[in-house]
Homo-oligomer: A and B are copies of this chain.
Amino acid sequence: MEKGKQSEDGVMTQSPTKPETVGPVSLLECLKAINAGILTPQESIAGCLSRIEAYDAEIMAFSSLSETALHDATQASGPLSGIGMAVKDIFDTYDLPTECNSPIYHGHMSGRDAAIVAQARKAGSTLLGKSATTEFAFLQPGTTRNPHNLEYTPGGSSSGSAAAVAAGMAHLALGTQTGGSIIRPAAFCGVTGFKPSAGLLPKVGIKEFSWSLDTVGLFTATVADVAFAASVLTGRTLKIAPEAQFELPRLGIVRSHSWSEADPGYRQQFEDLIKSLKRFGVDLIDIEPSDTHIAAFHAHQIIQDYEARQALAWEYSTHPDQLSPLLKQTLDFAQTIKPSDYDEARMCAENASKEMDEHFEDVDALISLSAPGPAPKGLASTGSPIFNRIWTLFGLPAINIAGLTTQDGLPLGVQIIGPYMADQATLHIAHWLEGAIKRHQER
């Protein structure tokens, strides 16, 4: 492949296409090689660094790089030794700045690690660098590009985290989701994205945007990888035993009220997959979108914006000219939301959540699209969170499963959503579905 060449002013003069990356590198495969003595933890981290060296000038997944990663790897001990980690640049890290992709935080050193970063380091993983985020994890994109085609967005807001894993530059990446900021970029970049039940991973030390919605999650190559990392980081039994046998899941198909907005080719692939799942013997029922859920969808935005205006009160009050017009306008508008609107939105969300819980009496998990289509072309937008919002609002575990692609080779994601705090069962179903998608494609 011929790479795009940059002119002196840094503008691409030739269309870049797909860079020659190794693709996602499985965390479990890496640990297996280390345990077998084929690879040392330090060599594993050196591999990440050489891939960053090779690809990141084009992909721009990292906003800053650790200079001590190789040394840190020699000191590491624990179940994640040798695992290279990218951390979204809204998490505090004592050794690298936390800039939130905002000039207001240029060079900002928090002087400490966010809780989950400290836990991940203690478990042996090595911080490779901070991965690029949209501005304050909202909508204004950064410069990261999609490893599958550099002319396309990687999605957001956890743009760099998804891209770093997709290009094999990191084995594990930390991200957050407030609307669709984990599942969407995971889908666009063709990796596993796991948004756990609200509260499963600690948020202490992140730059918050909406405290009711912000959820910490993980990116890896495969579902088994993410289940293992989540097990280590939570101390819970979430990992998938290699020889595990599963009963066929009962799945509820959610074709949300935004279904008609989804890409027709993507919808067709989803329906084809559903047919295969039926053939495989899966029990499938349709979950009709109810008025309550549509109301909850709108409530999400009121809650997000009302809380964001408070979470960013200092930035808005003291540095309004350093906010992007997109964020500034959103916060301007948010000043007009009344406390009673917010209270009503929260009540609406609570009722809708209870109604959704009832569906889990009939099914083990829900299946839906991860986004309205493949990654949109261009870097001006990170795409839409309309297929993710209510799952974030309800605090339910959600997983993006990679495997499907467009004819042009862009990834298409399938989303599994489980009951609150049933993260283990949901990961198991997602793991099973990952295999089922492979069988479906081999048909």
Which residues of A does B touch, CB under 8 Å? 94, 108, 110-119, 121-122, 199, 202-205, 208, 211-212, 234-236, 307, 310-315, 317-318, 338-339, 343, 421
Contact = CB atoms under 8 A, between A and B. Distances in A.
Contacts of A343: 421
A121 B313 CA distance: 10
A171 B211 CA distance: 29
A202 B311 contact: yes
Contact of A94 (B203, B310, B314): B314
Contacts of A204: 208, 211, 310-311, 313
A94 B111 CA distance: 15
A205 B204 CA distance: 10
Per assembly, the copies of the chain total 2
A122 B313 contact: yes
A339 B119 CA distance: 15
Contacts of A339: 234-236
Contact of A211 (B94, B202, B307, B314): B202
Given A204-B211, A421-B343, A314 B235 contact: no
Given A202-B311, A203-B211, 11 more contacts: A108-B111, A112-B315, A113-B313, A113-B318, A115-B312, A115-B314, A122-B317, A204-B211, A204-B311, A204-B313, A234-B339
Q: Which 5 A-B pairs have the closest CB atoms?
A: A118-B314, A118-B313, A113-B314, A202-B310, A204-B311
Which of A119, A203, A208, A310 has most B Cβ within 10 Å?
A310
Contacts of A115: 310-314
26 contacts: A94-B318, A108-B111, A110-B110, A112-B314, A113-B314, A113-B318, A114-B314, A115-B311, A115-B312, A115-B314, A118-B314, A118-B318, A121-B317, A122-B313, A199-B211, A199-B212, A202-B211, A202-B311, A203-B211, A204-B310, A204-B311, A205-B314, A234-B339, A235-B338, A235-B339, A236-B339
